[in-house]
Structure 1
């Protein structure tokens, strides 16, 4: 009896692993975890997740979200390059530092979200059978803004993801995609963790920067044992 149950379990698992939704679920979770850990490997994993998510969104008639995945792929490539690039004056740093979003950047991102929601929402409402054109495109616009912040390594990206993940949790539930609704609920929790983790990294970097720099010669003299 146990053998039959085990065989049935593995058969169902194999069947599930052939589902685009399941692989999209897995790769998205791995990607967000890697972002929260500030790992550059989040970008290649994220690009795979975007391709899978596009397939799911087309099936659900969430067309702007499907198009969003293409934008995410472009931003993923940009972020990958940006994270590996050493800014001027930081050539000795192991990686690009986490920073805060300036008021000027907040203004540009806010203007983008408003314009994108109005323009794309009108287009999809008029020319397609999209299920929720304005709400869907608002979530899309905020997602693009948050992904851009990730590419620039801005700590506040997680605040945007908290809001948009809550919205997507409800949106996918309404469209009958229970698995993706659960996924975005988990992503919302990961966004809270990511915000906490990046704030810790930001504080550590600020503490390290505030320490006085000891010249190598002086440090060597301090460490040299005294002669009696």
Structure 2
């Protein structure tokens, strides 16, 4: 028996014979019963692996789920455009560090879905690329954000930089509300409860499942 210690990639776990506690029934339940979710957990609690599992599901990688509960529950295995942002590995203690990270993600997506000259801010670029991806692929997009609060937590001793990060994140995350018609599913994780970080004041459609008991129930 091989234990997946430190492995955060679902495809790597499944293709290399590691043990896996089947959480795919919960993936199906979340994907079919709601649209916007938030999950708060301490680090090393499997948040990144769960996001990777969601990503594989929305990529339609049916073969990775063979033998798991979702394999027989899902019938379509449709592929969706996915915007996966991982803020877990970056260092946000330097000025413009958050801009650099988000700009890198946006540049990659824009190389596939295009851009407009008028999209001068990170939020406008995010808004535009979501719309273009949905229109090009003919379906809603999936947005996965890991450790949404790390730029804030890493700058607790630098109030000025923290305020800058907070303003950037507030505008960036507000796109999830303004582009609702183009979004199929969104899942955000972090260490802190989102109400305490104040970057979601414009986003009131997130369902916080951090303490929810329904997630532990079996999907019918």
TM-score (norm 2): 0.36
Larger Rg: 1
Q: Whose relative contact order is higher, 1 or 2, with alpha carbons under 8 Å and at least 6 apart?
A: 2
Q: Would you tell me which structure has more helix in proportion to its own residues? A: 1
Q: Would you tell me which structure has more strand in proportion to its own residues? A: 2
